[in-house]
Structure 1
């Protein structure tokens, strides 16, 4: 085993910030508007145009955008929303924020995306929506999800916090559900520091998305200044979930680089695919032939995952695990009555999955080191 004690730590995810990004932020810091100003609208319009959606409403983070999206879809107390269990807790937490109940669906064993075949058995008269999560950056089978939603008259929400730039059946993520939500956390394909966005083609949903992020108030201070009026009304119980112009300027600059970021991520994933081809011990997730993967994460199954994880970390490889199935979290078991055995495919996968480093600044030498250390860890 090679000596890696003196080599730098390789994180699983990392932002890429250049001088253009810094200049864009500094320009806003010198302007009249730090928040609720013109850069917010410019960023929203740019993301909507990139995805081919009619409307985009920015939010403080992806979780806030999920909360706002469910509000816009009309989710209320005691409603039920079907959500995959193999996701970050925010996907189902947002359901709880509105007093509704998340109903956990199991995942497909090959892709770890929500399994459409498992959904219909979970539908009850209280079911109002389905959340599809584009796990790791691969779009769900949105054709199947759309068919189920249409058949049962349910709303469809895309948690696409991993998949900006992805496609399914040559249709861009952002146009595949009633509302689509993105996250711009630093480990995502582009970053605003913290930030999120909700996209929709519905005028009604767009209005409710914007209302919810600003205390439920009908106008913001920039609109009132423009019209020379003071009057506003609080129509709904909303939240202060706004994105700033500072963050939006960073997002606009990052968005220009997004095609290059995505290209590099797909090249890195291809390198891993080829390195693990035919391996009995390292099993990458499968990609649907109809999907264009956005590769937020690169996930593999390995034997004795916890031991492999420990060895990799000791060797300076910043692997991670995504995720503990949500229904296994203590809070959900205690407060929602979920139990081991509820989603056996996700539970089996959780014991084996490990996330390998994947970000724009990785070099081929870094990749060689990751692959070598992973294979050596498994041998050990």
Structure 2
């Protein structure tokens, strides 16, 4: 007996569960077969070109210099150290960019809702301008039109005789560790723990008695007084090295190279435009009745926004905000256009050209970006879960 499909009754074709399993097994076999074919083809091509596969090249000496490195580096160091420097430089751009973009984006998002005509229009023009200009073009503009057009070190623009801006970058004082650094760190940890315990006690006290407690000012006093006492008892935690002009350049202190400044500023300005719209829509999603209720309790506009509107809006803001953080981190690879030594420029550029280990280099680069992206997602998802509404 046959059914309307032509298959015998009781055939596996009539059982959707068996049919689904068969299709999945066939798909997995095809994917594995295709992957093995590509891998075998890559191995054969590498053998014909005399390229040894594997990650042993990471132990070889790099033999090239790096413009900016957060850890000690010489040309005799290995590709392993180059990899670490590339990761740190990528993280530096990502962290600085996320912080600046968040602050600027939230400010612009609130400004877009301002009843002041001028503030509202300025924020609107900013958003519509910078989010419609490609980030690579903005990087090139900041680098070539702004920073490289600055005067040289001898004519650098100085501030307080400690900060100097020139075509070589931003020179600033450097903190050198002193004997009092260890006790100072311990004091900071103690102050943080004390502040957390104080905040929990104050919250519990308020829930039981209804009496408010100035948690912010008390916590601020703890965070200032405890480390200050440690510095007085054990000495300053750091000594400051002031940059000074010697010959044709500055010596001493820290320097932020113009490539780093151009990348951070351009990505921050670009991403802030999108964050501003996310913040505006998040605030708009909160019922206007919340604002009216807060005003009826005597709260002014500022406290209402900080304590009532923003906390509720964050539940809407966080998911798309996570996407913007990920986009900013991935857009940091555009820094290769101006020679900033991040992962793509260092590893997928210089290291790949020197070693010829294309599959290994690309696999490492993609793994690093994947790990950073997953880490950002996990942190933001944890925060989003914490602020989510708990239904009873």
TM-score by length of 2: 0.22
Higher strand share: 1
The normalised TM-score by structure 1 is 0.22
